[in-house]
Each structure stands twice: as structure tokens, then as C-alpha cells.
Amino acid sequence: MTLYDFQSDSKKSDWRIIDDVVMGGRSDGSFSINSEGHGVFEGKVSLENNGGFSSVRYQPDKTIIDGASQVKFRLRGDTKTYQFRFKRKRSDYHSYVASFQTSGEWEEITIPLNQFKPAFRGHSRQVKVLSISFKASFPFFFSRYKILGANSL
């Protein structure tokens, strides 16, 4: 199931930036859709004032069902490590988190659902086994913090 295709669904208003400014930090992220129709997440992660993260988030209208076993997306990164996160319910405190390295070239990233680990504010959580039937938010996350053993800078 395709959740978002920038070639056909390209509305900037579907995406929002959440930076560490919500906690007093000074990171500054932005999201735009370029002339080729690609979503572009960029900005600066600052360690000032105990900061250290920037994210872009999408809240789908669709519910993911029917035995999903992986998340797959195509992107061009900057050779840094990022996190892909999702929540089963918007009201959940914890997210399911998996880190991935980018090569600097266009590439397809595939992450099996069994590689996602529950976490809240950088700490692993003990929660029930991941269900494959959920409605989720999907942030791409860049951080200075280590999450579940993966360095995000």
C-alpha cells in the first residue's frame, strides 16, 4: 500500500516540522516540495540550549492493514543516519523507531517491521508486541542522541 506519493499527493500542508524548539532547543528544520515534485526536508540541528533534533511528520488518513511486514521508501540523503518512526495511535507516548543510513545517492530503504523498537524520548520502552493494524504518524527524525544503540549524527 502506498501511503504517500509526492508525484500525485504533493501537498506541503500534509507535512509538518517538529524541532527541539518545543523543548527550548535551537534546531531549525524546513520542508518544501521542489520543482521536480520531491519532498525536501532540510535544516540545521543545533546542540545549543540542550537541543539536538529536527523532524518532519506526516499523519496519514489511511489505516495500514493486511499483513504489512515492512516499510519501504525512496530518498536521497546526505550520508547521515536518520530515524523512521511511527505510532500505532496518535495518543501513544511511545513511537516505534528504526534507524537507517543514507548514501548520498537516490536509494530505496526497506525496514522490516520486526526491526522497529518502541521508544519514548530516547529511551526504550516495554510495550506490547507491534500490531500490523494501526493508524500512524510517520516522522523522519534527525538527532544528536543515541536511540537504541544507533548514533543519529
> Does some domain include residue 132?
yes
Residue 124 within any structural domain of the chain = yes
The grid cell for 100 is 537507517
Q: What is the pLDDT of residues 44-83, one digit of tens each?
A: 888 888 878 888 887 776 665 556 788 888 888 888 888 8
* pLDDT score of 133: 44
Distance spanning both ends of the chain, measured CA to CA: 31
Kindly state whether residue 18 falls inside one of the protein's structural domains.
yes
Contact 84, 98 (CB under 8 A): yes
Local confidence pLDDT in tens for the 153 residues of the chain: 666 777 776 678 888 888 888 788 888 888 888 888 888 888 888 888 887 888 888 777 666 555 678 888 888 888 888 888 887 777 777 788 888 998 989 998 999 988 888 886 665 666 665 554 444 455 545 544 433 332 222
In a domain, 151, yes or no: no
The pLDDT of residue 92: 73
DSSP 8: H
99 inside domain: yes
pLDDT score at 103: 92
Q: Is the pTM of this model over 0.85?
A: no
Neighbours of 43 (CB within 10 A): 16
Alpha-carbon span 95 to 134, nearest angstrom: 12
The domain tally of the chain equals: 1
CATH of residue 50's domain is 2.60.120.430
- Domain residues for 59? 6-143
pLDDT at residue 51 in the model: 79
Q: What is the pLDDT of residue 64?
A: 59
Domain contains 56: yes
- The answer as to whether 153 is a domain residue is no
Residue 130 resides in a domain: yes
